[in-house]
């Protein structure tokens, strides 16, 4: 399908500016039918919209969700301040720590849970701390190592539970709870 635009990213000026001072948004147009919005890691408002959606409709969408933007923008700003990107030396330290600690921790909890991970990899993922593939390979972001041990253990158990349950059903969380009865408090540490 050469010659067909499937994605286009632009900056769009918001007028009047939002109450939190946002006066531009990132607009990503693609072959989709609905609009969505998110606050990026670098605290920018990103709107995803259909290719042919007029800018006026996008701006109306943004203004109609101003309270949502304010809440999530402030939360993202606090998170960015609490967890700034590490410098090169700190990043290398966290990667080394992840490579040393996470495979052993995964094996230990896998034995307790009666599951087996096919592999354990350390990634640079920014949007999630861990993932479990359909083939039971587990990936962890090295960024997880900046959090308390209790939170790290929760992510390990969470990903291992996906070997048995490929969803977030009640049964999935009941299984997690048999291993970590305080999983909710541990998960909350990841949101600080």
Q: Would the pLDDT of 1 be above 50?
A: no
- The pLDDT of residue 6 is 58
Domain ranges of the chain: 7-82, 88-191
Which has the minimum average pLDDT: 11-20, 37-46, 53-62, 104-113? 11-20
HEC secondary structure over the chain: CCCCCCEEEEEEECCCCCCCCCCEEEEEEECCCCCEEEECCCCCEEEEEECCCCHHHHHHHHHHCHHHHHHHHHHHHHHHHHCCCCCHHHHHHHHHHHHHHHHHHHHHHHHHHCCCCCEEEEECCCCCCEEECCCCEEEEEHHHHHCCHHHHHHHHHHHHHHHHCCCCCHHHHHHHHHHCCCHHHHHHHHHC
Say what the pLDDT of residue 2 is. Answer: 47
Give the mean pLDDT of the chain: 91
Question: Which token pair is 149?
Answer: 């041990």
Residue 9 has pLDDT above 80, yes or no: no
Confidence of residue 4 (pLDDT cuts 50, 70, 90): low
**Angle between helical axes of 170-179 and 88-113 (0-180°, round to 10):** 100
pLDDT beyond 80 at 5: no
- pLDDT over 70 percentage in the chain: 95
How far, rounded to the nearest angstrom, does the alpha carbon of residue 174 sit from its chain's CA centroid? 23
**CATH class for the domain made up of 88-191:** alpha beta
């Amino acid at each position: 399908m050469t010659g067909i635009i499937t994605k286009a990213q632009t900056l769009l000026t918001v007028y009047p500016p939002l109450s939190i001072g946002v006066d531009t948004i990132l607009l990503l147009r693609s072959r989709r039918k609905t609009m969505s919005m998110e606050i990026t890691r670098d605290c920018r408002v990103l709107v995803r919209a259909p290719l042919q959606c007029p800018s006026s409709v996008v701006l109306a969408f943004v203004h109609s969700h101003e309270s949502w933007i304010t809440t999530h923008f402030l939360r993202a700003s606090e998170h960015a301040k609490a967890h700034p990107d590490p410098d090169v030396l700190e990043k290398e330290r966290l990667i080394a720590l992840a490579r040393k600690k996470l495979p052993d921790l995964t094996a230990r909890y896998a034995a307790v849970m009666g599951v087996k991970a096919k592999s354990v990899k350390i990634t640079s993922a920014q949007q999630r701390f861990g993932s479990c593939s359909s083939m039971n390979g587990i990936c962890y972001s090295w960024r997880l190592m900046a959090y308390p041990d209790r939170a790290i253990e929760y992510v390990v158990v969470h990903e291992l539970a996906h070997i048995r349950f490929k969803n977030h059903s009640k049964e999935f969380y009941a299984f997690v709870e048999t291993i970590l009865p305080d999983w909710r408090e541990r998960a909350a540490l990841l949101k600080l």
